[in-house]
Structure 1
């Protein structure tokens, strides 16, 4: 038996459908589609694992501490993310609206809320900004591209991305405050 989606998501889906369609239409342009696919792949932990592993080399003092902080924050964020995602069960836009929103990248699962890619991108961008701000000119555009890619590839609603970003920000700020 399929879990029931909260009624609020049903209304929100209808409100966001046209915006998602418009954003996804830009993905019909091959160079933009390639950019979104690359950003999405980079958001599949590749960049974040490298960033975590690089902390001892990026930070003269406390690099191992930052490695541990980033790792623990990421693990906790994943646990909360999975709990929220499996409890709220919001169908992805390409499932809800069938052919009206095209999925341009394989989805890992059926549900879209919140965007885990965006959550991790924002979380690591904020953490890195606090410890290695010289990397922000690279990470901020990547974070924005990852967020846009989720909607542009038909995998998420805009509100999924906003919620994922807010959750990632909250985890990063909390982590920084506790470590502070």
Structure 2
């Protein structure tokens, strides 16, 4: 038996449908669609693995501490994210509004809440702001494009992205506090 999403998601879905539909509709423009797809792919894992791996090169001996901090933070965040996603069971917009929102990128699963891509983008931006703020010139635009791509590709609602950003903020803050 399929788990049922909470009633609040039904109401949010209807409120967000029009905006999601419009944002996903912009994907008919090939250059924009290509940019969204690229951002989505980079935000899946490659950008963050490269960022983690670069820490020793960027910071010398202290970089190994950052590499460990970023890795542990990401692993814990993934665990919590998966737990939330499989318990809350909010279906993706292209599933809920079958045919009226076109998904232009394959989804890994059927649930959308929260956005893991956005969670990681925000989390790594905040960690990087603390250790290598000069990298934000690259990471902030990429992270913003990753967040937009999730809605623009028909994979997430805006509230999924907002929740992912809040969760990413919480994990980065906790990580920085624990690292002292």
Shift of 1:61: 4.5
Q: How far apart, in 2, do the equivalents of 1:16 and 1:47 lie?
A: 29
Q: How far apart, in 2, do the equivalents of 1:148 and 1:44 lie?
A: 14
Q: How far apart, in 2, do the equivalents of 1:159 and 1:58 lie?
A: 35
Q: Which residue of 2 aligns with 1:131?
A: 131
Q: How far apart, in 1, do the equivalents of 2:154 and 2:124 lie?
A: 24
Q: How far apart, in 1, do the equivalents of 2:125 and 2:112 lie?
A: 22
Q: How far apart, in 2, do the equivalents of 1:110 and 1:24 lie?
A: 17
Q: How far apart, in 2, do the equivalents of 1:25 and 1:103 lie?
A: 10
Three-state SS of the structure 2 residue aligned to 1:56 is: helix
Three-state SS of the structure 1 residue aligned to 2:172 is: helix
Q: Which residue of 2 aligns with 1:50?
A: 50
* Aligned pairs for 1:73-152 within 5 A: 73-152=73-152
Shift of 1:44: 1.1
Q: How far apart, in 2, do the equivalents of 1:131 and 1:49 lie?
A: 16
Q: Which residue of 2 aligns with 1:70?
A: 70
Q: How far apart, in 2, do the equivalents of 1:98 and 1:4 lie?
A: 17
TM-score normalised according to structure 1 size: 0.99
Q: How far apart, in 2, do the equivalents of 1:30 and 1:66 lie?
A: 38
Q: Which residue of 2 aligns with 1:39?
A: 39
Unpaired runs of 5+ residues, structure 2, are none
What are the superposed Cα offsets for residues 78-123 of structure 1, whole Å, 9 maximum, x if unpaired?
Answer: 0000000000000000000001100000000000000000000100
Shift of 1:71: 0.4
Unpaired runs of 5+ residues, structure 1, are none
Q: Which residue of 2 aligns with 1:7?
A: 7
Shift of 1:19: 0.6
CA RMSD of aligned residues (A): 0.6
The number of equivalent residue pairs is 180
Instruction: Spell out structure 1 runs of 4+ moving beyond 6 A.
Output: none
Corresponding position: 1:21 with 2:18: no
